[in-house]
Amino acid sequence: MGGWRAADIPDLSGRRAIVTGANSGIGYHTALELARHGAEVILACRSAERGARALDRIRTEVPGADLLVGSLDLADLRSVRAFAAEHVQGGLDILVNNAGVMALPRQATADGFEMQFGTDHLGHFALTGVLLPALLNRPGARVVTVTSLMAWAGRLRFDDLQGERRYQRWTAYCQAKLANLVFTKELDRRVDTVTSVAAHPGYASTNLQQRAARMEGSRTREVFYGAANIVLGQSAAAGALPTLYAATMPDVAGGDCYGPDGLGQRNGAPKRVRVVTRAGDPEAGRRLWEASEQLTGVTYEVPAH
């Protein structure tokens, strides 16, 4: 697998894909390469204007690309349901749960969830559930959930998932990204006709690192993160490679996680990586799943065999 690049993606003609957060960063480069290799790609974006700009950029690189922009705010379950209602018809081969927020001051989603847990995990849990009929309609369909190296430091605090008693932005982020891994494993256990895998980008230079600093008006932190991106980060295009491998390659198995092969998984070509043992704990998976169903009101309708 060493040296794998986007040029190695197989032909995706006839495949239909949805990428959340496709207007920038890793999501943009994921959508770009899926489209370049023949897939029909729906750019699921919170801002229709930014989504339209991303579509134009992709069309500049891939003339004739089969693209559509869909309005999706993962921090609002009404938006999640509306998006799914518009795009659930027919089949879906690839769902990339990419969009996310990082290390924000405590704030709430439209449904009252803590923003990081609500967007990074609950929004994607709900989206995957309401799109499940489309995924079940395509043999070999895949769900790729994008996590982070910070997941390795995460703990699921079942007595305070929303950070209502105690909130620390990085603790909440680590928990949300661990939840991505736990969800990936549990989805693989529950829906055996859909391949559920995870990916992480290593340290990629995107706008994610600086967004919280901008929200707080901290120019110092914004400059610091910008400098760290330049010194430590690989490009967003390189950071998208583990996601693209997980979404397209034939040797990918359910429950796997893909990340960069460099030192500390910070950068490099994609490879299958080991995840923390607690990510695969079936009891944690069950508890998170049941809590997610209760909070979102979304249940997965899986046909009996």
Catalytic residue positions, numbered: 173
The CA-to-CA distance between both ends of the chain, in Å, stands at 35
Beta pairing, strands 67-71 & 257-260: unpaired
Opening angle at CA 126, ends 123 and 131, nearest 5: 120
